[in-house]
Amino acid sequence: MTTASRTSVGVLGGGSWGTTLAHLYAFAGNEVLLWVRRGEQADEINSAHTNTRYLPGYSIHPNVRATLDMEEVAKACDVIVVSVPSHSLRETAYELGNYVGGDQILVSATKGLEPGTFARMTDILRQETCCKKVGSLSGPNLAREIMDGHPAATVIASAYDEVIERGAQMLASSVIRVYGNRDVVGVELAGALKNILAIASGLATGLGMGDNAKAFMITRGLAEVSRLAVAAGANPLSFSGLAGVGDVIATCSSPLSRNHQVGKRLGEGEKLADILKSMVMVAEGVNTTKVAMEYATTLGVELPITGGVYQILFHETRPMEVIEKLMVRRATYEIDGSPILPARIPTQPPR
């Protein structure tokens, strides 16, 4: 974009992804207001153009200005991107709802589901604000790779073409390509549920099980979470797009993925509490695993791999015990999940 076309964009959340998004919007030619919670963080961003807590070693575009005042963001920006942890999104949206008008565009860049309600992030934005034009941004977007200037792609999903078109116009650059999708349910669920697969893949890595095991976890895991999403109203094709397969490839293999690191460290014998305590940023897949199991029970969908991850995370079941149970489950047809007879499966490995 040219300087003449600059528009104010608001980003709520100064973590690694929120800061990266603010940087991207500024790089694309926009003036950006970045809402953060801590005064020292705002001062650092505004004076040094860095965010050393979440993105050490990187410079932030000078057209990003940090503020502690959410009302300032709401009054100045007609497009606001929300990038806070899923557990605090409703609280943030409630506060935002005090300031926004109904004509503004809100985009969620958070990947998660709300416990108890199973609400997606765009559901919460609609419930807590008067804004109707909402969307979801998702895809294989590892913050550090983008800050390094490596090319990436993302998808904006919305029922409103204006949200997709404005989103693409204001974000697209030589660093990031933007696609559109009208299947908000599919894009949001794909973005949230793939974090479970990243934990499963990390477990296989931590256990030293090799690429075959990782491929098994990822592929069959993707099949089961896509069944859950379809039961919730998603288009299955969205799981073959950037928010599904695209994000799975990135987060299930990269050491930059927090969820993959959680699984890997669990496989290596660490305790979940110790892992989470050591992390600066949130691994959304931990909470999502629990919510997904509750959601699956409500919708009557079987999630064997997700259930195994759940047992490891919340019941401290040994990872190898979970793997062994997965391997001797009754054999099924790959496409529809119907059983293959006979049911007996040898439990001894080949010699």
Q: Any bridge partners for residue 243, and if so which?
A: none
* CB proximity list for 266: less than 8 A, separation 6 or greater: 199, 202, 203, 206, 272, 275, 312, 313, 319
**Residue 86, amino acid:** S
What are residue 155's DSSP bridge partners? Answer: 138, 179
CB atoms within 10 A of CB 199: 33
The answer to whether the beta carbons of residues 258 and 252 sit under 8 Å apart is no
What share of residues in the chain are helix, strand, coil (percent, to 5)?
50, 10, 35
Catalytic residues: 194
Contact present, 124 and 296 (Cβ < 8 Å): no
In this structure, are residues 198 and 259 in contact, taking their beta carbons and an 8 Å threshold? yes
CB of 229 closer than 8 Å to CB of 299: no
Residue 345, CA distances (Å) to 54, 342, 350 in order = 48, 8, 13
Q: Do 98 and 92 form a contact (C-beta atoms < 8 A)?
A: no
Residue at token pair 């904006």: 156
Residue 263 and residue 275 in contact, taking contact as beta carbons nearer than 8 Å: no
Tell me which H or E stretch contains 329.
none
Distance between CA atoms of 267 and 134, rounded to whole angstroms? 39
SS3 79: strand
- Token look-up 């892992």 returns 275
Q: What is the CA radius of gyration of the chain?
A: 21
